[in-house]
Amino acid sequence: MTEHWKRSAGDLARDVTAGRVGAAEVLDAHRAQADRWDPAVHALLARDDERARRTASGKLQGPLAGVPFVAKDNLCTRGLRTTCGSRILEPYVPPYDATVIARLAAAGAVLYAKANCDEFAMGSSTENSAFGPSRNPYDTERVPGGSSGGSAVATATGMSAFSLGSETGGSVRQPASFTNLVGLKPTYGRLSRYGLVAFGSSLDQVGVFARSVADCALVFSVMAGPDENDMTTRPDGAFALEGLDLSAAGGKGLTVGVPRNILSEGLHPEVARAQTRAEEALGKAGVRVKEVHLVPPAACVATYYLLATAEASSNLARFDGVRYGFRAQPADDLLSLYTKTRGQGFGPEVTRRILLGTFALSAGYYDAYYRKALQARRRIRADLLAALSGVDALLLPTAPTPAFRLGEKAMDPLAMYLSDIFTIGANLAGVPALSVPCGFTADGLPVGAQLVGPALGEGTLFRLGAALEGALGGERRWPELVS
């Protein structure tokens, strides 16, 4: 039997469309991978094999015909439990599909499971899931990154041909870097957020995990474009694959900028090596590499943790045990219904962020914290755009370290927050960024390189990503299941 789970989404769709292989057979191959891997890595939450099976045996058409995928559990799926990795939504079944889910379905893709994540996408390791952590398939003692860890693991192990995650501050790129995947954080407003359970609304974007730049671009093209249900989508957000040169030579003549000033100190040696590798590989592919300057990214982290938490404190107010989800018992009056339900329903990281965000917006502190962070955001965006002005994209590491051990940072919120240090800027500025596999550490852990472009610059990022992919070459190194 062909190992369908190893194949690209594009190949699978072509074969299914041409009738060379049945979608059910493709689905079964991926489900078998899930059966094999999931006990060791805990990537999946709700699974609906039967429905997926029904879908797969129907008539499938479109650019993703018969391609199985999983979606992060903060994307609403009609009739399929959507918990956001939280106790407070444990029983919740949405009555509607997120727009991105609907668009993928219309393109023939087959959803069969929801993927584990940090509770409400808050975290960088997937350890904050109320349903237990996911594990990195390249070393199950290590985290897969987060918050979209389950989605990453699913695609890294062949449970799915691609997967959806979401980004607020790096939650797709960082796990992509930890699990040998391509991870895209699109331009803000290019993908609909309708049906994505909000964390930091002005920062949130749905993201894509794939094993190749070409697959990533394909999936993105199917979902991108304005949505009448989301007023923050861009009217000019559609993305066409036509004319996009994803060959190894497709990046020729482009220029990337390296913000050397923020990479000098404290960088993990393996990450520094990967950065050098990426620069050399791109150089080989005919891409010019030059130096640019960026504000120290610590300011991004500070800004991010005020803005994202402030928005989250409001976004998560709706989880109160009244209309859906968990309700604490007994609650004799309304106030205790609220405080008990929320006190018991949210995990510690979510509680911490709601407290911080509530504080940052509260009377007497708004100007000193929330407003100041909005001012910093303008500065950070201007700075990033200035750095981008003379180049086609920035090239920098995705994460400051390779995958860390479970529990290593769990007790130190600030240390955890700093693992997003290189990714947050793109979210604050609303620009696209792509993490591309860039080899492995001596211990066999994947490391990613990150490309950051101007708004609507996904096409350029894909070209550069494909160039890097091509230059680094070689056969995919799959994780091995150790029993």
Catalytic residues: 72, 147, 171
Q: Which of 66, 123, 259, 325 binds other proteins (CB under 8 A)?
A: 325
Q: Is 430 in the site for other proteins (CB under 8 A)?
A: yes
Q: Which of 76, 394, 421, 466 binds other proteins (CB under 8 A)?
A: 76
Q: Is 356 in the site for other proteins (CB under 8 A)?
A: yes
Nearer to other proteins, 273 or 327 (CB): 327
Nearer to other proteins, 89 or 274 (CB): 89
Q: Is 475 in the site for other proteins (CB under 8 A)?
A: no
- Strands 433-440 and 446-452, by their bridges, are antiparallel
Shortest Cβ 18–other proteins spacing (Å): 36
- Residue numbers 450-469 binding other proteins by CB under 8 A: 455
Q: Is 355 in the site for other proteins (CB under 8 A)?
A: yes
Q: Is 162 in the site for other proteins (CB under 8 A)?
A: no
Site string for other proteins, 233-252 (x = CB under 8 A): xxxx----------------
Q: Which of 113, 306, 396, 406 binds other proteins (CB under 8 A)?
A: 306
- Residue numbers 8-67 binding other proteins by CB under 8 A: none
Nearer to other proteins, 354 or 447 (CB): 354
Nearer to other proteins, 253 or 343 (CB): 343
- Residue numbers 163-222 binding other proteins by CB under 8 A: 188-189, 193-198, 200-202
- Residue numbers 369-408 binding other proteins by CB under 8 A: 369-379, 381
Q: Is 2 in the site for other proteins (CB under 8 A)?
A: no
Shortest Cβ 90–other proteins spacing (Å): 12
Exposure on the CB side of residue 152, measured as CA atoms within 13 A: 40
Amino acid at 175: P
Rounded Cα gap, residues 387 and 177, in angstroms: 23
Nearer to other proteins, 6 or 371 (CB): 371
Q: Count of residues binding other proteins (CB under 8 A)?
A: 100
Q: Is 281 in the site for other proteins (CB under 8 A)?
A: no
Q: Is 299 in the site for other proteins (CB under 8 A)?
A: yes
Contact residues for 145 (Cβ-Cβ < 8 A; gap 6+): 124, 125, 126, 136, 152, 174, 175, 176, 177, 178, 179, 399, 403
Shortest Cβ 376–other proteins spacing (Å): 5
Q: Is 293 in the site for other proteins (CB under 8 A)?
A: no
Q: Is 323 in the site for other proteins (CB under 8 A)?
A: yes
